[in-house]
Amino acid sequence: MTIDINIVEEGEELAKPSQAPMTGAVSAAPGRRRGKRPKLLFLRNSKAVAGLVILAFFFLIAIIGPWIAPYDPSARSEDVLQPPSWEHWFGTTHLGQDVFSQILVGTRGVIVVGFVAGILATAIGVVIGVTAGYVGGLGDESLSVLANVFLVIPQLPLIIIIAGQLPSVGGVTVAVVIAITGWAWGARVLRAQTLSLRRRDFVEAARSNGESTWRIITAEILPNLTAIIASGFVGTVAFAVLSLITLSFIGIGDTGEWNWGTVLYQAQSQLALQRGAWWWFVPAGLCIALLGMSLTLINFGIDEFVNPRLRSTAQNARSLRKRGIRPRIGFTPVVREAKEDRA
Amino acid sequence: MRFFLRRLGFYVITFWAAVTINFFIPRIMPGDPVRALIAKNQGRISTDAEAALRTLFGLEKETTLWQQYLDYWGLILRGDLGTSFAYFPTPVADVIAGAIPWTIGLVGIATIISFTIGTVIGSGIGWRRGTWADSLLPISTFFSAVPYFWLALIAITIFSVTLGWFPASGSYDRSLVPTFSWEFIGSVIYYGTLPALTIVISSISGWILGMRNMMVTVSSEDYVTVAQAKGVSERTVLFGYAARNAILPQVSSFALSLGFIVGGTLIMEIVFSYQGIGYYLFTAVAAKDYPLMQGIFLVITVAVLFANIVADFVYGVLDPRTRQEG
Q: For position A26, what pLDDT does the model report? A: 39
Q: How many CB atoms lie within 10 A of CB B236?
A: 13
Share of residues in chain A with pLDDT > 90 (%): 5
Smallest Cα distance from B245 to chain A, Å: 10
**Closest residue of chain A to B14, computed from CA coordinates:** A149
Q: What is the mean pLDDT of residues A249-277?
A: 78
Q: What is the mean pLDDT of residues B48-66?
A: 70
Q: CB atoms < 10 A from the CB of B292, how many?
A: 27
Give contacts of A320 with chain B, Cβ < 8 Å. Answer: 130
Write down the pLDDT at residue A341.
Answer: 44
Kindly tell me if the per-residue pLDDT of A21 is higher than 50: no
Distances (CA, A) of A49 to A55, A75, A300, B136: 10, 38, 11, 20
On the question of pLDDT at B95 being above 90, the answer is no
Q: Give the CATH number of domain A46-71+97-308.
A: 1.10.3720.10
Q: Which residues of B73-109 are buried (b: 16+ CB within 10 A; e: fewer)?
A: eebbeeebbbbbbbbeeebbbebbeebbebbebbbee
pTM score? 0.79
**Nearest-angstrom CA–CA distance, A237 and A182:** 10
Instruction: Name the domain count of chain B.
Output: 1
Q: Do A251 and B297 touch (CB under 8 A)?
A: no
**What Cα–Cα distance (Å) separates residue B220 from each residue in A313, A321, A328?**
12, 19, 8
Within-domain flag for B300: no
Instruction: Specify the pLDDT at position A124.
Output: 93
Cα A110 to Cα A115: distance, rounded to the nearest angstrom: 9
Other CB atoms within 10 A of residue A254 CB: 16
**Predicted pLDDT at A5:** 39
Nearest-Cα distance to chain B for A237, in Å, is: 12
Q: How many CB atoms lie within 10 A of CB A280?
A: 28
What integer is the mean pLDDT of A161-179? 80
User: pLDDT digits over B108-147, tens only?
Assistant: 888 889 889 988 888 888 877 666 666 777 777 777 777 8
Determine, for residues B237 and A332 on separate chains, whether the beta-carbon distance falls below 8 Å: no
C-alpha torsion angle, residues A43, A185, A109, B284 (rounded to 10)? 150
Q: Which residue of A has its CA nearest to B157?
A: A273
Assess contact for A92 and A82: CB atoms under 8 A: yes
Query: What pLDDT is recorded for position A119?
Result: 93
B198 within some domain: yes
Is B264 inside a domain boundary? yes
Q: What is the mean pLDDT of residues A58-66?
A: 86
Contact partners, residue B2, CB within 8 Å, separation at least 6 = B325, B326
Rounded Cα distance between B44 and A244, Å, is 37
Does residue B316 lie in a domain region? no
Size of interface A-B (CB pairs under 8 A): 201
Cβ atoms of A91 and A83 within 8 Å: the answer is yes
| pLDDT of res. A313 | 52
pLDDT at B117: 92
HSE toward the beta carbon, residue A79, CA cutoff 13 A: 16
d(CA A142, CA A132): 8
pLDDT at A318: 59
B326 touches chain A (CB under 8 A): no
Average pLDDT over residues A17-33: 40
Mean pLDDT along residues A95-103:
81
Closest by CA position to A242, among listed A267, A263, A260: A260
Binary contact (B130, A327; C-beta < 8 A): yes
pLDDT of residue A121: 92
Residues B16-43 have pLDDT tens digits of 888 888 888 877 776 566 666 666 666 6
How high is the mean pLDDT of chain A?
A: 75
Neighbours of B276 (CB within 10 A): 25
B324 assigned to some structural domain: no
A317/B contact by beta carbon, under 8 A? yes
In three-state secondary structure terms, A199 is coil
- Predicted pLDDT of residue A23: 38
| Distance in Å, alpha carbon of B15 to nearest chain A alpha carbon | 9
Q: pLDDT tens digits, residue range A274-315? A: 777 788 888 888 888 889 888 888 888 887 777 666 665 555
A88 in contact with B, Cβ within 8 Å: no
Q: What is the pLDDT of residue A4?
A: 39
Closest residue by Cα to residue A273 from B157, B221, B288, B139: B157
Q: Is the pLDDT of residue A332 over 60?
A: no
Residue B318 lies in a domain: no
Q: What SS3 state is found at B83?
A: strand
Percentage of residues of chain B with pLDDT beyond 70: 84
The domain limits of chain A are 46-71+97-308
Mean pLDDT of A63-86: 78
Q: What is the mean pLDDT of chain B?
A: 79
Question: Per the domain annotation, does B47 fall within a domain?
Answer: no
Q: Looking at residue B266, which CATH number applies to its domain? A: 1.10.3720.10
Q: Which residues in chain B have Cβ-Cβ distances shorter than 8 Å to A335?
A: none
pLDDT over 90 at B205, yes or no:
no
Per-residue pLDDT for A33 more than 60? no
Q: Which range, of A121-135, A158-172, B41-55, averages the lowest pLDDT?
A: B41-55
Query: Do A273 and A23 meet the contact criterion of CB atoms below 8 Å apart?
Result: no
Q: Name the pLDDT band for B177 (thresholds 50, 70, 90).
A: low
Three-class SS string for A88-114? CCCCECCCCCEHHHHHHHHHHHHHHHH
The per-type count for chain A, helices as H runs and strands as E runs, is 15, 0
pLDDT value, residue A3: 39
ipTM at complex level: 0.80
Cis peptide before B89 (omega within 30 of 0): yes
Between B163 and A6, name the one with better pLDDT: B163
Instruction: Verify whether the Cβ–Cβ distance A310 to B259 is below 8 Å.
Output: no
d(CA B203, CA B138): 15
Residue A32 pLDDT greater than 70, yes or no: no
Domain interval for residue B141: 105-288
Closest chain B residue to A284, measured at CA: B150
B37 close to B89: Cβ distance less than 8 angstroms = no
- pLDDT grade, residue A264 (50/70/90)? confident
State pLDDT tens for residues B228-286.
Answer: 888 888 888 888 888 888 888 888 888 777 777 777 778 888 888 888 888 888 888 87
As a whole number, mean pLDDT of residues A149-162 equals 84
Chain A residues 234-263 with CB within 8 Å of chain B: 238, 242, 245-246, 249-252
Cβ contact A17–B237 (<8 Å): no
CA dihedral A146, A148, A152, A153 (to 10 degrees): 10
pLDDT tops 90 at residue A120: yes
Q: Answer whether residue B163 is part of any domain.
A: yes
Answer yes or no: do B216 and A313 touch at CB < 8 A: yes
Interface of A with B in 142-181 (CB under 8 A): 145, 148-149, 151-158, 160-162, 164-167
Mean pLDDT of B74-92: 77
